[in-house]
């Protein structure tokens, strides 16, 4: 691993997930991260976009919980099986990173349709096509049309979901959930132990779909180890 910038703590800003909280990250910039190093960073709660690695260092809150699915133990729930049955005609492809106008246009429509945000092509390139570690691309096609895409990091024992986006016109197919299900299965085919699904924030509605992938583990920030999740999901399956 090559460190371009040592770890720093950013200034406090408004939390994008919980309206009454303030957030800040510890972050560093790095490249040439190998698979073993990537697995170690993920196991310690780090996330990343491009060369930017970060994890929360919020003074009043530790609700951003890293989660990972135990691949060999995972089985789709009843609602997830319904999604798989409903989307039998969706083709899922995995391959090397490949930037196209079609991919960026899909990202733009997702940003505008889901979050009412404009897309920035430079940010898109930096976050997803300046790889700091081994990486893969997920693509979902329905009747020959690209409807979803995502980016994965490859660790020595895991796949890490960096980001997934889709055409809002196909939200009824639950493309986000479908992408996760196929990425977990791809990790299984590769003989990997874990699938990292980013941070789960209880109380944040747009994170609710992550609560439905079980069995899984949550990272305990205080004791710095992973704990199995017990009990049923908190909310019904949402459109993702």
How would you classify the pairing of strands 194-200 and 65-70? Answer: antiparallel
What element of type H or E holds 115?
A: helix 101-115
Q: Using one digit for the tens of pLDDT, what is the confidence trace for 119-132? A: 999 999 999 999 99
pTM of the predicted model, to two decimals?
A: 0.93
Decide if pLDDT at 115 tops 90.
no
State how far the Cα of 13 lies from the Cα of 58, in Å rounded to an integer: 10
Bridge partners (DSSP) of residue 5 are 29
3-state secondary structure the chain: CEEEEEEEECCCEECCCCCCCEECEEEEEEECCCHHHHHHHHHCCCEEECCEEEEECCCCCCCCEEEEEEHHHCCCCHHHHHHHHHCCCEEEEEECCCCCHHHHHHHHHHHHHHHCCCCCHHHHHHHHHCCCCCEEEEEEEECCEEEEEEEEEECCCEEEEEEEEECHHHHHHCHHHHHHHHHHHHHHHCCCCEEEEEEECCCCHHHHHHHHCCCEEEEECCCCEEEECCCCCCCCCCCC
Q: Using one digit for the tens of pLDDT, what is the confidence trace for 165-193? A: 999 999 999 999 999 999 999 999 999 99
Q: How confident is the model at residue 207 (pLDDT cuts 50, 70, 90)?
A: confident
Report all structural domains of the chain as residue ranges with CATH numbers, in order of start: 2-63 (no CATH), 76-192 (3.40.630.30)
């Amino acid at each position: 691993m090559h460190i371009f910038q040592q770890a720093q703590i950013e200034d406090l800003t408004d939390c994008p997930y919980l309206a009454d909280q303030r957030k800040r990250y510890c972050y560093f910039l790095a490249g040439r991260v190998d698979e073993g190093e990537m697995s170690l960073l993920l196991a310690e709660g780090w996330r990343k976009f491009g060369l930017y690695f970060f994890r929360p260092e919020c003074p009043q809150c530790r609700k951003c919980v890293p989660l990972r699915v135990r691949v060999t133990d995972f089985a789709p729930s009843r609602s997830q099986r319904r999604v798989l049955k409903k989307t039998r005609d969706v083709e899922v492809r995995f391959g090397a990173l490949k930037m196209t106008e079609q991919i960026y246009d899909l990202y733009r429509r997702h940003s505008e349709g889901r979050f009412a945000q404009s897309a920035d092509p430079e940010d898109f390139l930096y976050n997803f096509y300046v790889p700091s570690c081994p990486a893969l691309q997920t693509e979902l096609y329905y009747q020959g049309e690209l409807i979803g895409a995502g980016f994965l990091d490859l660790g020595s024992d895991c796949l890490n979901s960096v980001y997934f986006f889709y055409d809002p016109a196909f939200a009824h197919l639950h493309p986000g959930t479908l992408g996760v299900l196929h990425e977990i299965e791809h990790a299984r085919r590769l003989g990997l132990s874990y699938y990292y699904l980013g941070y789960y924030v209880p109380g944040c509605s747009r994170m609710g779909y992550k609560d439905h992938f079980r069995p899984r583990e949550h990272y305990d920030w205080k004791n710095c180890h992973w704990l199995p999740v017990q009990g049923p999901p908190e909310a019904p399956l949402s459109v993702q």
